[in-house]
């Protein structure tokens, strides 16, 4: 693929977790900021070093203000498979592009990072000294330099097989770090109000990024639970709505999900969670509502729908139903106000979700949701589809030896005409996924009695 010559090349240093989720996150964010993903590398696979072309440094900085998958970004000045290759690569980098950061009035420092190997202080100093041929005119300042340059040495991914020389060496000017600190500051461990299935903070930010959430958007979660996914969107400046069929969860009543805690405190609800992080102004409303029977008037209101629907294992899948239908597992909860509960067939739920998204998303808006999968039978054809929604990405996270969940991101590309038009189409297409109706049974098969018993008690 021919790269635009005017674009500078940047080196992204990626975090080594949620590997499959990284590329869609970066692509979504670049698209959000007006860039486009352009790279000379065929695939990235498991490597933490990604070289890409970005139209401007502004776009690169904006990317880093959002990403939780990338640790840092550097303006790439040179790279090679050996020191000699690196030096000749650096000699080919236009001097006029270097000079602004090296002139005599500026201060700088050179850092060296090695991956999968430890170097002695002496070895580090030698490598930095070897770069003396670069036109550094400024003063070294180790405490508060204006410019930081980095040498990065890649010794592979296998800690049991560390090579003598690095596979790759990179040299660049450090631009910015990513937002990985959000993972700690928004950790579920510190959150006031949590549920059985509250989403890990890192993944909730990844979801908001896959959803291209931006300031002043309206983001909706139809299976909001304790609101964890809304927090990430609110952090990025979106205003948030949530609904859930469970009255107690929405109101912050009933058993607490923290070990050793008896009841949820008076301040435990979704609004309080947003308040904890100073994000209360982004709270619009939450409603007790059945996602299969929404109460929104006809129109397109949501810029993104970001959700983790119940899989029927640790939280039950329910919807309101008729007395006439034979219910599986009626729940008698007078406080929860759910008249009758049926087991909600998973395929029906995704059909409803996609149709709802197609109808209520703005054009260009995104749906981001988790699809539970029984791995031995999974094929790509099983991923639900809709004529108005384009599949953007499908990332797997393993849950157990035979189950995983996939983060599906879709974008609305076509206007929704009317509801009836899609019902017959979808029931045919969704057929491959019908097998997943028994996801719950399949999940439990092959698990030891002890584990199955633990799952049952935690569902109460």
Partner 1 sequence: MKLLTHNLLTSHVRGVGPRGFPLRLQATEVRINPVEFNPEFVARMIPKVEWAALLEAADTLHLVEVPKGPTEGYERDEQFLRKMHHVLLEVDVLEGTLQCPESGRLFPISRGIPNMLLNDEETET
Choice between 299 and 334, CB closer to partner 1: 299
Instruction: Choose one: 158-166, 192-200, 291-299, 439-447; the region binding partner 1 (CB under 8 A).
Output: 291-299
Residues 249 and 247: their CA atoms lie apart, in Å, by: 6
Instruction: Based on the shown chain and the rule CB under 8 A, indicate whether residue 334 belongs to the binding site for partner 1.
Output: no
Choice between 184 and 335, CB closer to partner 1: 335
Q: Which of 119, 284, 391, 447 binds partner 1 (CB under 8 A)?
A: 284
Q: Which tokens go with 6?
A: 């005017």
Instruction: Based on the shown chain and the rule CB under 8 A, indicate whether residue 291 belongs to the binding site for partner 1.
Output: no
Instruction: Choose one: 53-61, 136-144, 146-154, 318-326; the region binding partner 1 (CB under 8 A).
Output: 318-326
Instruction: Based on the shown chain and the rule CB under 8 A, indicate whether residue 320 belongs to the binding site for partner 1.
Output: yes
Instruction: Based on the shown chain and the rule CB under 8 A, indicate whether residue 43 belongs to the binding site for partner 1.
Output: no
Q: Write the DSSP symbol of residue 454.
A: H
Choice between 168 and 243, CB closer to partner 1: 243
Host H or E run for residue 420? helix 420-429
Shortest gap between Cβ of 234 and partner 1 (angstroms)? Answer: 12
Number of residues that bind partner 1 (CB under 8 A): 34
Choice between 138 and 294, CB closer to partner 1: 294
Q: Angle of helix 420-429 relative to helix 346-360, nearest 10 degrees? A: 140
DSSP lists the bridge partners of residue 5 as none
393 touches 409 (CB < 8 A): yes
Choice between 42 and 215, CB closer to partner 1: 215
Instruction: Choose one: 98-106, 180-188, 334-342, 399-407; the region binding partner 1 (CB under 8 A).
Output: 334-342
Residue with tokens 């050996």: 82
Instruction: Based on the shown chain and the rule CB under 8 A, indicate whether residue 277 belongs to the binding site for partner 1.
Output: no
Instruction: Based on the shown chain and the rule CB under 8 A, indicate whether residue 279 belongs to the binding site for partner 1.
Output: no
Residue with tokens 């009255």: 247
Burial class (CB in 10 A: 0-12, 13-18, 19+), 440: middle
How many Cα atoms within 13 Å fall on the side-chain side of residue 284?
19
Q: Which of residues 211-240 bind partner 1 (CB under 8 A)?
A: 215-216, 239
- DSSP-derived 3-state class of residue 160: coil
Closest CA to 20 of 384, 397, 375, 307: 397
168 touches 116 (CB < 8 A): no
Q: Which of residues 156-175 bind partner 1 (CB under 8 A)?
A: none
107 touches 147 (CB < 8 A): yes
Choice between 166 and 225, CB closer to partner 1: 225
Q: Which of residues 338-357 bind partner 1 (CB under 8 A)?
A: 338-340
Q: Which of 92, 260, 322, 448 binds partner 1 (CB under 8 A)?
A: 322
Residues 346 and 309: their CA atoms lie apart, in Å, by: 9
Distances (CA, A) of 99 to 93, 95, 184: 11, 6, 38
Question: Integer distance in angstroms from the first to the last C-alpha of the chain?
Answer: 55
Instruction: Based on the shown chain and the rule CB under 8 A, indicate whether residue 245 belongs to the binding site for partner 1.
Output: yes
Shortest gap between Cβ of 217 and partner 1 (angstroms)? Answer: 9
Shortest gap between Cβ of 320 and partner 1 (angstroms)? Answer: 6
Instruction: Based on the shown chain and the rule CB under 8 A, indicate whether residue 49 belongs to the binding site for partner 1.
Output: no
Q: Which tokens go with 125?
A: 């100093």
Instruction: Based on the shown chain and the rule CB under 8 A, indicate whether residue 295 belongs to the binding site for partner 1.
Output: yes
Instruction: Based on the shown chain and the rule CB under 8 A, indicate whether residue 285 belongs to the binding site for partner 1.
Output: yes
Interface residues toward partner 1, by CB under 8 A: 215-216, 239, 241, 243, 245, 247, 250-251, 281, 284-290, 293-299, 301, 320-323, 325, 337-340
């Amino acid at each position: 693929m021919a790269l635009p010559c005017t674009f500078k090349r940047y080196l992204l240093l990626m975090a080594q977790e949620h590997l499959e989720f990284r590329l869609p996150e970066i692509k979504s964010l670049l698209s959000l900021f007006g860039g486009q993903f352009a790279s000379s590398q065929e695939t990235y696979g498991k490597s933490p070093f990604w070289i890409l072309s970005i139209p401007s440094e502004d776009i690169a900085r904006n990317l880093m203000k959002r990403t939780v998958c990338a640790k840092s970004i550097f303006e790439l000045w040179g790279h090679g498979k050996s020191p000699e290759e690196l030096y000749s690569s650096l000699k080919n980098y236009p001097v006029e592009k270097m000079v602004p950061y090296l002139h005599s009035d500026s201060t700088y420092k050179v850092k060296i990072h090695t991956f999968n190997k430890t170097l002695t202080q002496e070895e580090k100093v030698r490598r930095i000294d070897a770069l003396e041929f670069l036109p550094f005119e400024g003063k070294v300042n180790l405490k508060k330099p204006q410019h930081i340059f980095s040498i990065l040495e890649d010794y592979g991914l296998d800690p049991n097989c560390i090579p003598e020389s690095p596979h790759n060496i990179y040299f660049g000017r450090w631009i910015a770090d990513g937002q990985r600190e959000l993972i700690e500051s928004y950790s579920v461990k510190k959150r006031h109000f949590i549920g059985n299935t509250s989403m890990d903070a890192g993944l909730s930010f990844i979801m908001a990024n896959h959803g291209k959430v931006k300031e002043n958007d309206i983001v909706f979660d139809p299976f909001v639970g304790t609101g964890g996914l809304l927090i990430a969107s609110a952090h990025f400046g979106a205003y948030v709505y949530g609904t859930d069929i469970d009255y107690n969860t929405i109101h912050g009543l009933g058993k607490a999900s923290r070990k050793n805690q008896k009841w949820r405190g008076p301040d435990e609800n979704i609004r309080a969670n947003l308040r904890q992080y100073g994000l209360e102004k982004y709270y619009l409303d939450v409603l007790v509502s059945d996602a299969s029977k929404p109460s929104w008037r006809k129109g397109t209101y949501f810029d993104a729908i970001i959700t983790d629907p119940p899989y029927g294992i640790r939280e039950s899948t329910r919807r309101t139903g008729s007395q006439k239908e034979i219910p599986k597992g009626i729940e008698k909860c007078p406080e929860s106000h759910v008249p009758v509960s049926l087991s909600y067939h998973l395929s029906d739920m995704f059909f409803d979700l996609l149709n709802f998204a197609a109808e209520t998303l703005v054009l260009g808006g995104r749906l981001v949701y988790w699809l539970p999968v029984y791995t031995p039978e999974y094929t790509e054809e099983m991923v639900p589809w809709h004529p108005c929604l384009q599949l953007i990405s499908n990332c797997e996270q393993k849950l157990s030896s035979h189950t995983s969940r996939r983060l599906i991101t879709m974008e609305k590309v076509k206007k929704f005409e009317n509801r009836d038009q899609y019902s017959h189409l979808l029931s045919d297409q969704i057929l491959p996924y019908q097998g997943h109706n028994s996801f719950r049974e399949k999940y439990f098969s092959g698990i030891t009695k002890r584990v199955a018993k633990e799952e049952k008690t935690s569902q109460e």
